[in-house]
């Protein structure tokens, strides 16, 4: 993993941790382009509710938002 990839992953991880520390119920969607350094599994372990890769259709984003906001 390259240095900038490690920094990116650390930033995402810290941001998710801070948000979830302040509001543990806050659903987070990670929407990114191709990434070898953050997988869906890694994102979920960080507390991110939904991991989506570009390109994303508006319908799919709306569906994901509804799912994480209204899941029981």
Task: Report yes or no: 27 and 49 within 8 Å, Cβ to Cβ.
Answer: yes
Give the pLDDT score at 33. 74
Q: 19-28 pLDDT, tens per residue?
A: 989 998 899 9
Give the pLDDT score at 7. 81
Give the pLDDT score at 24. 87
Q: How far apart are CA 4 and CA 72, in angstroms?
A: 37
Q: 9-68 pLDDT, tens per residue?
A: 788 878 888 998 999 889 999 888 766 667 888 888 888 899 998 899 999 999 999 998
Read off the pTM: 0.71
Domain ranges of the chain: 3-70
Task: Report yes or no: 33 and 8 within 8 Å, Cβ to Cβ.
Answer: no
């Amino acid at each position: 993993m390259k240095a900038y990839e490690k920094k990116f992953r650390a930033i995402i991880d810290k941001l998710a941790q801070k948000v979830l520390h302040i509001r543990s119920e806050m659903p987070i969607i990670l929407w990114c382009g191709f990434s070898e350094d953050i997988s869906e599994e890694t994102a979920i372990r960080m507390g991110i509710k939904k991991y989506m890769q570009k390109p994303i259709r508006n319908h799919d984003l709306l569906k994901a938002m509804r799912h994480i906001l209204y899941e029981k």
